[in-house]
Amino acid sequence: SEAFVVLDHRGESYQKHNRPSLEDPVWRLRKISRLGATHKKLECHGIKTVRDFLMQYHIDPDFLRNILGKGVSNRAWETMVKHANECHLDSTQYSYYNDDERVELLFNSIYKVIAVKFHGQNYLPIDVLDLHQKALVDELKLCAFGKEKKLVPLHSPSASTSIVPSSIQPNVSFYGANLDFQHDGFSIIDQELPEEQLGFNTPGPESASYPCTVESAYKPENDSTENNKIMDEK
């Protein structure tokens, strides 16, 4: 018989993905061998997926680097981080509010701070903050990831938050088009209502979120009829 080619697929299930997903096992990242020393060290610390790897990286990159130890070169470390950051993020978001500083941090699905709100103002992206503000954010991150993790997941993470673009100065007011997420201690009202019709009440102790009231700008026709009668009498 004629010679023929046999394809060997035995190693395909262990191949790296060019663009890993958050739920991929951590050994899918470049420079991490399945069941190798690095893989075992990470799993011993509860880092089993790419999501776990990225979360720990944004919580404390030095701790993650120390887990890998001196057996992993800086170049290999940079390759791992770069490959992990190429994955597509989901829409999950978290919030942390500090009462003392009156600052709220907004995190994405891998615990990276993407915006900050100072004293109830609009969210600002990280790249417009000054050095003092960035230092404060770094301090508050430590509080958020303390012994008791104080992050609050947003109930509607698919909605975009009102964030001032980098090209706009921090003191310029900006209103987003999609503001419908809500979490404990913080709520955004229906985006379809005009801004001048929106009012907020201070919540009572029985409520964890801030309720809102709507003052309608619509006036019944009988009001105008009553006014006409008064004019006729005059």
- CA dist 221 and 233 (Å) reads 19
Confidence (pLDDT) at 182: 39
Length of the chain: 234
**Residue 64: CB atoms within 10 Å:** 22
The answer, yes or no, to whether residue 200 has pLDDT greater than 70, is no
* Cβ 186 vs Cβ 120: under 8 Å: no
Residue-wise pLDDT for 5-37, tens only, equals 665 545 455 577 688 999 999 999 999 999 999
The answer, yes or no, to whether residue 78 has pLDDT greater than 90, is yes
Residue-wise pLDDT for 90-114, tens only, equals 999 999 999 999 999 999 999 999 9
The answer, yes or no, to whether residue 201 has pLDDT greater than 90, is no
State both tokens at 82.
């770069």
Residue-wise pLDDT for 110-168, tens only, equals 999 999 999 989 999 999 999 999 999 999 999 999 867 889 998 654 444 555 544 44
- CA dist 42 and 27 (Å) reads 9
The answer to whether the pTM exceeds 0.85 is no
User: Does 184 or 48 have the greater pLDDT score?
Assistant: 48
Confidence (pLDDT) at 162: 52
Exposed / middle / buried, residue 150 (Cβ in 10 Å: 0-12, 13-18, 19+): middle
